[in-house]
């Protein structure tokens, strides 16, 4: 079994799991829809009176990113599942470096997260979001893929060190919620207090939200080249960390 075979098998396994789980697909779309409708229409008039314009236009890219973030991070629970049922042990004995296993799982989870992002993007169109057409629109999928790889790698790396299926969601929520709420997904980053501004600048989720928002509606806070560079570097860092932890898994 060669490197590409292992990556393909792991990628296909995670994709099949997602397609077969209709409940997972529906629940993954329910939360973004709730945020989009409740916040978009609830705070829309306030946002417009404050001179911000159309809040749905501002909010939709953040909700798309949120759906990918949650899907990518929680994809790591499959590592714990495979630990308990023996599939991980079978994978670890394959004659390939552990980093290959990490890459295969990361690509599979990232593919699922991107699909979820596309589903939520279509939902935003239904509620009134209209992205600006132009060459920059092509960059949005690139940023979405980079973002999904980054946080699937993080979720997988964390799952490699967690053995309790019930503890994993608690750990994920402890990490995800601050990352999301301090990313500028729900509010503009301009004019924040100094300490909060620093936190948003070191938060990698901020660059995913900003990049997708810039590509879709040209409301970016950072240069889009910086968004791509940060996500690329952080993705490599998380993949390397995951490979390091996988080297120490006994299955």
**pLDDT band (50, 70, 90) for residue 113:** very high
pLDDT digits (tens, 9 = 90+) for 196-218: 889 999 999 999 999 999 999 99
**pLDDT band (50, 70, 90) for residue 22:** low
pLDDT at 11: 79
3-state SS of the chain?
Answer: CCHHHHHHHHHHHHHHHHHHCHHHHHHHHHHHHHHHHHHHHHCHHHHHHCCCCCHHHHHHHHHHHHHHHHHHHHCCHHHHHHHHHCHHHHHHCCCCCHHHHHHHHHHHHHHHHHHHHHHHHHHHHHCCCCCCCCHHHHHHHHHHHHHHHHHHHHHHHHHCCCCCCCHHHHHHHHHHHHHHHCCCCCCCCCCCCHHHHHHHHHCHHHHHHHHHHHHHHCCCCCCHHHHHHHHHHHHHHHHHHHHHHHCCCCC
Is the pLDDT at 143 greater than 90? The verdict is: yes
pLDDT at 105: 86
Between 20 and 46, the more confident residue is 46
pLDDT at 251: 52
**pLDDT band (50, 70, 90) for residue 39:** confident
Between 233 and 84, the more confident residue is 233
pLDDT at 114: 93
pLDDT at 37: 86
Is the pLDDT at 26 greater than 70? The verdict is: no
Among the ranges 11-20, 32-41, 202-211, which has the highest mean pLDDT value?
A: 202-211
Is the pLDDT at 13 greater than 90? The verdict is: no
């Amino acid at each position: 079994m060669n490197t590409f075979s292992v990556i393909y098998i792991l990628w296909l396994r995670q994709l099949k799991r997602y397609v077969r789980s209709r409940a997972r697909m529906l629940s993954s779309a329910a939360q973004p829809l709730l945020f989009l409708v409740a916040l978009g229409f609830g705070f829309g008039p306030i946002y417009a009176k404050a001179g911000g314009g159309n809040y749905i236009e501002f909010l939709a890219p953040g909700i798309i990113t949120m759906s990918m973030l949650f899907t990518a991070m929680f994809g790591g629970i499959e590592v714990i599942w495979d630990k308990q049922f023996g599939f991980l042990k079978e994978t670890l004995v394959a004659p390939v470096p552990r980093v290959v296993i990490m890459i295969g799982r990361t690509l599979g989870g990232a593919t699922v997260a991107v699909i979820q992002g596309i589903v939520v993007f279509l939902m935003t169109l239904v509620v009134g979001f209209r992205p600006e057409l132009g060459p920059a629109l092509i960059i949005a999928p690139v940023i979405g893929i980079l973002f999904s790889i980054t946080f699937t790698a993080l979720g997988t790396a964390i799952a490699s060190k967690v053995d309790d299926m019930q503890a994993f969601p608690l750990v994920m929520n402890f990490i995800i919620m601050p990352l999301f709420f301090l990313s500028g997904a729900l509010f503009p980053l301009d004019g924040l207090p100094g300490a909060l501004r620093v936190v948003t600048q070191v938060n990698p989720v901020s660059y995913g939200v900003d990049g997708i928002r810039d590509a879709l509606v040209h409301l970016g806070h950072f240069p889009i080249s910086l968004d791509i560079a940060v996500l690329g570097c952080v993705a490599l860092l998380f993949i390397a960390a995951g490979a390091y932890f996988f080297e120490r898994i006994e299955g």
